[in-house]
Amino acid sequence: MKIEIKSAKDCLMWYADMIGSEWSVLRHDVGYFLVKDNENRLNIIHKSDAIIVPDDGDTIAVWFSCGAASAIAAKMTLEKYGHRCNVRIINNFIKEEDPDNQRFLRDVEGWLGVKFESAINSKYKSCSIVEVFDDRRYMSGIAGAPCTLELKKKARYEWEIKNRPDWTILGFTKEEKDRFNNFKTNERQATVHILENTTKGECFEMVLDAGLKLPDMYIWLYPNANCPGCVKATSPTYWNHVRVMHPKVFQERCEQSREIGVRLVRYKGKRIFLDELPPDAKGRSMKNMNFECGIFCSK
């Protein structure tokens, strides 16, 4: 059984209204909703049986990462909710991303006929990962990557505090159901898996069918349109690809990681400094890499 509940706000208000009554044993945090059906009867619905969707007039924030999936997520959100909700599309600018990402952003703006907004962390107005690494004296490891935390997650929080969106949508594809569920559980309950039935490959096709040119990062065979030299990557294959495609970035990461004392790459079972990596070393294929600089996670 799946029940569509139109308004999360109304639903939670119903729950609040019933506190103190005979229904007070029901708690939102134990996984139930109280809802009225069409004939005004009260029903107890388990959360797993409820699909809550945006109500008319709600504000929906779609986070555009300059990737193909988030472009299609923005398009589908506008198609599905644009006529009755206030859909806002926001990007976190990162100085070290390839400049062609911003060209893609402008192309998608033109395609959708919507001006995108920008969200930044006011503590790091330069939006530079290098500045964050210097400031935090950390680049990446078991505690995550501070660049994602500072420039994406905290920037989103700042935007949310100012703009109070009712809903948050990200470009999680069909293959990324676990990531979507993780985001829903740990970050924002009010979210829609807009690409629930759309694969990453289909997103690429739709972007190309629309006559858009993909960001150069994909053309250069990177696994995503994030920064070249992403510090979340540990694979020798990835880093040697950066060495060839973006030698200046490779050199900068070598120097900064050595200076801060961070072993970015894993080779033969142990972490080593980037400048110790043999140029012919190989690891996992880039196609199988699944690191993503999401705004949903600082890990």
Q: What are 32's two structure tokens?
A: 């139930």
Question: Is residue 78 within the footprint of ligand SF4 (CB under 6 A)?
Answer: no
Question: Is residue 295 within the footprint of ligand SF4 (CB under 6 A)?
Answer: no
* Amino acid (1-letter code) at residue 163: N
- Of the candidate spans 22-30, 117-125, 226-234, 237-245, the one that interacts with ligand SF4 by CB under 6 A turns out to be 226-234
- Of the candidate spans 43-51, 143-151, 199-207, 252-260, the one that interacts with ligand SF4 by CB under 6 A turns out to be 143-151
Question: Is residue 85 within the footprint of ligand SF4 (CB under 6 A)?
Answer: no
Give the total of residues touching ligand SF4 (CB under 6 A).
12
Residue whose CB is less far from ligand SF4, 54 or 228: 228
Question: Is residue 226 within the footprint of ligand SF4 (CB under 6 A)?
Answer: yes
> Looking only at residues 33 through 72 of this chain, which bind ligand SF4 when binding is defined by CB under 6 A?
none
From the CB of residue 91, how many other CB atoms can be counted at a distance below 10 Å?
23
Residue 60 CB partners (closer than 8 Å, separation 6+): 54, 77, 81, 85, 86, 87, 88, 165, 166, 167, 168, 169, 192
CA distance 55 to 131: 41
Residue whose CB is less far from ligand SF4, 192 or 277: 277
From the CB of residue 49, how many other CB atoms can be counted at a distance below 10 Å?
13
Q: Which residue is nearest to ligand SF4 (CB)?
A: 293
Question: Is residue 242 within the footprint of ligand SF4 (CB under 6 A)?
Answer: no
Q: What are 166's two structure tokens?
A: 């009712």
Q: What are 66's two structure tokens?
A: 């300059």
* Amino acid (1-letter code) at residue 40: N
Provide the minimum distance between the beta carbon of 225 and ligand SF4 in the complex, in angstroms, as a whole number: 9
Residue whose CB is less far from ligand SF4, 180 or 291: 291
Question: Is residue 94 within the footprint of ligand SF4 (CB under 6 A)?
Answer: yes
Binding mask 113-142 for ligand SF4 (x = CB under 6 A): ----------------x-------------
Angle at 194 between CA 96 and CA 101, to 5 degrees: 20
121-160 b/e (C-beta count within 10 Å ≥ 16 → b): beebeebbbebbbeeeebbbeeebbbbbbbbbbbbbeebe
Question: Is residue 145 within the footprint of ligand SF4 (CB under 6 A)?
Answer: yes
Query: Of these, 88, 232, 241, 243, which contacts ligand SF4 (CB under 6 A)?
Result: 232
Interface residues toward ligand SF4, by CB under 6 A: 94, 129, 145, 147-148, 151, 226-227, 230-232, 293
